[in-house]
Amino acid sequence: MRQRLINKTEPQALLQGKNTIVAEAISLQSLLFDSKISKEDWLEGVKYHSKTLTSLLLNNQIQEFNQYLSSQFGSEVVQPASLEKIDAKSSPSVAKKGLVDLDYRPILQDLLQTAILIEHSTIPPYLTALYSIKDGTNASASQIIRSVAVEEMLHMIMVCNVMNAVSIQPSVNRPQNYPTYPMKLPMNVDFFVGLETFSTNSIATFIAIESPSSPLVKAPKSDYIEENPSLLSKNTAEQNNFWTLENMKDFIMKNVHTIGEYYDVLFFYIVVFQIIAYYKANGKLPQTFEELNTGGIFTGDPAKQIRPEQYYGSGGKLYPVEALIGVIEVFQEIKGQGEGADDSIFDVDPSQFEEGAELAHYFRFKEVFHEHYYLGGNYAPFTDENGMMPVTTPPVGKPLPVDWNAAYPMKPNPKMADYQSNPQLYAQGKAFNQTYKNLLDAIQAAVEGNAKELEKSIMYMYALKEQAIGLMSQPLDSQYNAGPTFEYPAN
């Protein structure tokens, strides 16, 4: 597994009740099985246990996770009087309705497809800004944007691996899976994502997209070298089941503000369904990660997994998924590349292919925006006694030259309807959208089991750039040039 990610918590404090949330949170066992808890207790339980469980597993603290499971489930499955005992062998009339009888597939399909949409939503904006930069200019900025766009495609493919691992067919090329710009990411955010030319505005949006969950990060050094007994809730007369797709998505929309936080909550939901699957199969609750790792919901065909040797992207590392450990590796990679790893500004897996790719996405974009690199700067004025600085700290290292005027003046969020009166532009826009659809078709074929189709993606990427420049170099009106629309091709 990978190095630790940001947002680590002290497991000892969590397990010994030093965190004030512990006294307020119901046990994980009650959260999963007690249908008499209140909606408030359910929400607080999801907040607490999603943070605790995710922090432990995504930071490779397996021993501490085992202690956490033991504290929540006990060595014996002895449920309090407020809980109805659910025996995996009991008849449906005896078993309590709820998570045990819930079909997890449509829920995970929705949540994982949303993760694909999140990753997909970033690719066209990043490519648009990249293609709008005029040839021979802004070499460093272009390199940074390109590296991030390639890694977002990697993230999308790895989410498809997670879906295939739980026997849910991913979809990346259907009309309903296309982002429509401008749009808000499906989280609690207050900004819009759109298709814009390379500018301070577009880069600022990219910074917002990639914002880390943690407010603090280790200050980089110029000589840097890579290297609870929880309380049970009160009974209520009414019996409730809050584990529904509507409630789970509502929790995300109200409490999740960053992509990293989305993956944290998604990971918690995946582990919850794996716990339930283990319980149904064994008649007891799991006590260790080893018991939880394999089997359960992981029933997918390994032949559908995209593996490192089949992926031709230049940035990041691709992980196949056949068990829970694979989900951990995928989410570590995605979170680390986006917001940083081990409390640092650096990527989980620094790229060896492009300058600047060793930083997490958020910090790469900040380098472009502020026209300076991080390394080599003096961050003492921003740093506390623990060597931590706010993530908002600007880079103050060596200059990164940026010519903001060396970009085509593309109309923001163009649509094919804008080209109706210009047959040439309409034909070019249509050709671009078909090429992008071909790229998605190649990815779709690969995640359906024909991995060799990924080889075509390189050809399509080259074609996209040429076609995008062909659009962006042509005036649309007195103010703007044309640009790619990334719309689903019309017949």
Residue 364, domain CATH: 1.20.1260.10
- The reported pLDDT for the residue numbered 313 is 60
Residues 183-229 pLDDT 10s: 999 999 999 999 999 999 999 999 999 999 888 888 887 544 443 33
Where is the domain boundary, 369, 384, 406? Answer: 406
| Segment 355-404, tens digit of pLDDT | 444 789 999 999 999 999 998 899 999 999 999 999 999 999 999 999 99
Residue pair 356/371 in contact by the 8 Å Cβ criterion: no
% of the chain surpassing 70 pLDDT: 83
Q: Are 425 and 363 part of one and the same domain? A: no
Would 83 be classed as within a structural domain?
Answer: no
Kindly state whether residues 368 and 487 are assigned to the same domain. Answer: no
**pLDDT in the model for residue 214:** 87
pLDDT of res. 353: 34
Read off the pLDDT band of 336 (50, 70, 90).
confident
Closest CA to 363 of 261, 251, 237, 214: 214
Longest dimension (CA), the chain: 74
Per-residue confidence (pLDDT) for residue 405, from 0 to 100: 98
pLDDT at position 2 is: 43
> 233-291, pLDDT tens digit by residue?
333 334 567 999 999 999 999 999 999 999 999 999 999 999 999 999 999 999 999 99
Do 301 and 265 reside in the same domain of the chain? Answer: yes
Same domain assignment for residues 400 and 483 = no
DSSP for 76-117, please give it.
S----TTS----TTS-TTTSPSSGGG--HHHHHHHHHHHHHH
152 with 270, same domain: the answer is yes
Between these two residues, 411 and 2, which has the higher pLDDT value? 411
So what's the pLDDT on residue 222? 56
Say how many domains are in the chain. 2
Question: Whole-angstrom Cα distance, residue 266 to residue 259?
Answer: 10
Same domain, yes or no: 161 and 195: yes
pLDDT at 305 over 70: yes
Residues 333 and 445 reside in one and the same domain = no
19 within domain boundaries: no
**Residue 40 located in a structural domain:** no
Closest CA to 266 of 282, 252, 247, 283: 252
The CA distance from 302 to 283, in Å, is: 27
pLDDT of residue 218: 87
Position 105 pLDDT exceeds 60: yes
- The predicted model scores a pTM of 0.87
Answer yes or no: do 391 and 451 share one domain. Answer: no
Domain that holds residue 445: 408-491
Do 134 and 279 have their domain in common?
A: yes
Residues 376 and 488 in one domain: no
Helix residue spans in 381-484 (DSSP H): 423-447, 456-472
Q: Indicate the burial class of 23 (C-beta count within 10 angstroms; 0-12, 13-18, 19 or more).
A: exposed
Q: 464 and 335: one domain?
A: no
Residue ending a domain, among 406, 423, 441, is: 406
423 and 288, same structural domain?
no
Domain end among 406, 428, 452? 406
Tell me if 468 is assigned to some domain. Answer: yes
Read off the amino acid at residue 138: N
